[in-house]
Structure 1
Amino acid sequence: MTDRPDDPVDARRRRFLRGAGLSAAGAAAAVPVVLSGGDDAEAFSAPEEQVKGRYRLNDHVKRFYFLNRL
């Protein structure tokens, strides 16, 4: 590489690479929008799932708490 900062070939190369990088970033940002179809994702569970019990205090859990007590 040369030490001349005003080299026109070097300046054109930098502009090209900067433009290529911005184009790639723009294309990458547009892909999820196109693939999603524009529908909003649901961020909540169905009411049946919210009511269903998930945590049960059984012997296994009690033993875990007992062994990990500080």
Structure 2
Amino acid sequence: MHDKRPTELSRRNFLRAFGGASTTAVAAVALTPGEAQAYNPGQEEARARYRETDHVKAFYRVNGYPKKK
């Protein structure tokens, strides 16, 4: 016969219930509408970083990229 009582909460059932509850809580927070705010990158992040140096030009030439006009 089985000695387990149906009222006991086994480890597996506890983790299953805990996982379901935490997933529900995260979903509730994520779906709550809030005020959207725009991202301001600031001066440092907005500056141009790309420079077409000699090694970049060599990479383009070796890999067959079309030349800039």
The two structures have a TM-score, normalised by structure 2, of: 0.43
Task: Indicate the structure with greater helix content.
Answer: 1
State the TM-score, normalizing by the size of structure 1.
0.42
